[in-house]
A and B are shown apart, each in its own frame.
Chain A
Amino acid sequence: MYSVSRIKKHEMMVGYLCLAPWILGFIVLTAGPIITSFVISLLNYDMVHTPVFVGIQNYRKMFFEDPLFWKSLKATSYYTLLVVPLNLVGALLIALLMNQKLRFINIFRTIYYMPSVFSGVAVALLWSWVFNKDFGVLNYLLDKLFGIVGPNWLGSEEWVIPSLAIMSLWGVGGGMIVFLAGLQGIPTQLYEAARIDGATSWQEFWTITIPLLTPTIFYHLVTSLIGTWQVFTQAYVMTQGGPNYASLFYVLYIYFNAFVWFKMGYACALAWILFVVILICTVLTFKSSPYWVYYEAERR
């Protein structure tokens, strides 16, 4: 007979063994690099010459001497401020629409969801052509339907970020599916009870649907906040950060520093600031959650 503690020990060993791939990856590809990244951020290192220790010079330079750093912060936060709310409201509204009992609704769900699974270079190329100032379909339709002369979307400092925001809305179906699942998880008895109490559909929406969706909204908010700070491919393919650095997204700027100008130290310092920004965004969202996110389990 095995003793209880021996079985436990055996289970523990198997448990850690099964975790081994992740633990190894965590140490070698995550934790190690994070620490190394901070160390490199204190150096001047171009991968050819021996690194020179410069202390916090890279950080100082960033904040006080580098206008591009501020431009990239501005471009990225502008994009975030446009995309996160638009995407949230858009996805929620479409999900409400898709939750109606209509014939053929599954076909519509597929159509709305599909563009969100496309990404990468092909999509960026496709949208560069849509946004083409003279021959693109967007300006053509604006002219034909509304008589508006469309702007030079990707070629103007003013419109380049809104253009990329419009493009990101093409993927609104991804959020829609999440919200749709959230909506379908709301128990129907709640609506029945509300109807007996004489609630209007408007009241039902604000007192049942929205509160019960807040955990989904919260999840969507956190993931899209983290996502918008890491835009790279679109900017690299469509604008290269232009015109006049108006779409110099933060990660694009890190990439240029590291792999085009070989300023590894400076790039790591930039990356660390990004880390801090994302951390602050996420922590603030989490801290705000008790005030507006409703968890049913807490009441039990």
Chain B
Amino acid sequence: MVESKVRIIIKNTILYFILVLGSFILLIPLFWMISTSLKTPAQIFKYPIIWIPKPIVWRNYIDAFTAVPFLRYISNTIFIAFTSIIGDIFSCSLVAYSFARLRYPGRNFLFLLMLSTLMIPGSVTMIPQFLLYKRFGFIDTYVPLILPAYVGYPIWIFLIRQFFMTVPFEYDDAAKIDGCGYLAIYWKVLLPQIKPALIAVSISSFMHHWNNFMGPLIYLNSQDKYTLALGLRLFQGLYMTKWELVMAASTIALIPPALIFLLAQKYFIQGIVITGLKG
């Protein structure tokens, strides 16, 4: 008995050692970014590395913000993200409701068709889509970035459908007896049941639009319409060697995703688990 206890202690010590070591490796890049963002230019090129800057230069953040209109870029990005989230929630859940709850010929075929479109690389449809938007005069507007949210995104349709499947059909039947139509069942009975899925989709959608680079790069030309990702890229070009400012800007860009992640971790996990395991 004593021996096995010793063995458990040794085993756990080794496990903790590996876990802590791995945590360090994963956190060093983040720490390095924040540390750099608070240094004077002279401290950046010091050897050995100064881990904790002295003095701490908070001004870098003000300088980064005033060098290019980051606030403008952030509010543009938030505008795109929020108008898209609304579209994603409604379109994806409506389509998912149809796939999960209603019966009609061709449903399974269409569902498989939808899943198979996940395999199509974005670059195949990218150029014709660009020409299409160009034809309708939507270049340098947010339309090409927001419109796709209103036709539903297959992964999220799939995610919401999986959640709908977990709601017992008795709910629908009871509502039907009470005289609810299909849309009322969708809206009043089922949607409230799958709030976690809607939150998971909203978060993924936000993250997508916050980070999306290729879309804005292709469609936006005027600088006052830039998103944060494009602004960062512009900033990189302007201040190539001013690493303290580049890192300050990057830190700002990573704060919202980090906060959302820490606050809503369980929704991330739920979303991944359901799409990942029941596929």
User: Which positions in A face B, CB cutoff 8 Å?
Assistant: 8, 11-12, 14-16, 18-19, 21-26, 28-30, 32-34, 36-37, 40, 47, 94, 97, 100, 102, 108, 110-115, 117-123, 125-127, 129-130, 132, 134-135, 137, 140-141, 144, 170, 173-174, 177-178, 181-182, 185, 215-216, 219-220, 226, 229-230, 232-233, 236-237, 251, 254-255, 258-259, 264, 267-268, 270-272, 274-275, 278-279, 282
Contact = CB atoms under 8 A, between A and B. Distances in A.
B269 A275 contact: no
9 contacts: A33-B129, A34-B125, A120-B213, A121-B213, A122-B253, A126-B30, A230-B121, A271-B126, A275-B124
Contact of A11 (B16, B104, B126, B232): B104
B26 A112 contact: yes
Given A18-B98, A144-B48, A230 B123 contact: yes
Given A18-B97, A36-B128, A232-B213, A129 B247 contact: yes
Given A11-B103, A22-B95, A115-B30, A33 B279 contact: no
B213 A114 contact: no
A100 B15 contact: yes
A39 B22 CA distance: 50
A127 B233 contact: no
Given A30-B125, A272-B124, 12 more contacts: A14-B182, A19-B95, A33-B125, A47-B134, A97-B15, A102-B15, A126-B29, A177-B268, A181-B276, A236-B217, A237-B233, A237-B236
Contacts, number: 262
A25 B151 CA distance: 5
A118 B257 contact: yes
Given A16-B104, A144-B48, A181-B276, A125 B257 contact: no
Given A15-B98, A19-B95, A178 B213 contact: no
Contact of B127 (A40, A113, A125, A127): A40
Interface in B229-279: 229, 232-233, 236, 243, 246-247, 249-251, 253-254, 257-258, 261-262, 265, 268-269, 272-273, 276-277, 279
Consensus secondary structure, chain A interface: helix
B253 A121 contact: yes
Given A11-B102, A140-B49, A229-B121, A21 B150 contact: yes
B213 A32 contact: no
Contacts of A117: 207, 257-258, 261, 268
A204 to B, nearest CB: 16
B105 interface: yes
Contact of B232 (A25, A121, A141): A121
Given A232-B213, A279-B119, A19 B110 contact: yes
A82 B94 CA distance: 40
B1 interface: no
A193 to B, nearest CB: 22
A24 B151 contact: yes
Contacts of B98: 14-16, 18-19
B104 A137 contact: no
B103 A15 contact: yes
A229 to B, nearest CB: 7
